[in-house]
Amino acid sequence: MKTDIRQIESGEDEIIIRYKELTPGIKRILDALSYTSTRIVGRKEENRVVIDADDIMYFESVDDKTFVYTENDVLRVDYTLQGIIATLQDERFFRCSKSMIINVDKVKLLRSMSSNRIDATLENGEHVLISRAYASDFRRLLKGGDDRG
């Protein structure tokens, strides 16, 4: 792919993208250009807290309750995991097991395990297992071929 990047002294900023085929790489560039951060409302005790999607490490469902984990906090959310995926519609969030959604941008280290599972270490040091049912989709996502919908 050829790129042409120039700084201008005056006038309006302009981005021109020309492509023959809408590849996953081009789609990511387009998504980044139209990106606006999504927010999720969580609860901590009696307070409602607005959480920017950029700050989310992962979501977890435990005993029919869903929690959102940030680097420093855990809050309850009034969504199912399926509802979170539908609400966020963000390729950064990946369903990695029946009970968990991770923020792919927060993954720092990956390690293959037996039974085709993946151990993902997040930026905060927590380990999350990507189950074998989701591992091939995760590998495809990392290679740029997101077929999740």
Could you read off the pLDDT of 29-74 as tens digits, one per residue? 877 776 666 788 899 988 999 998 889 999 999 999 999 999 889 9
Query: Tokens 């591992």 label which residue?
Result: 135
pLDDT in tens, 113-146: 988 999 999 999 999 999 999 999 998 888 876 5
User: What backbone torsions phi and psi does residue 86 show, to the nearest 5 degrees?
Assistant: -65, -40
Q: Are strands 93-97 and 74-77 parallel, antiparallel or unpaired?
A: unpaired
CA dist., res. 3 & res. 16, Å (int): 10
pLDDT of residue 89: 76
36-142: which CATH architecture? Beta Barrel (2.40)
Query: Tokens 């807290």 label which residue?
Result: 49
Q: How do the domains of the chain map onto residue ranges?
A: 36-142
Backbone CA torsion sign across 137, 147, 58, 133 = negative
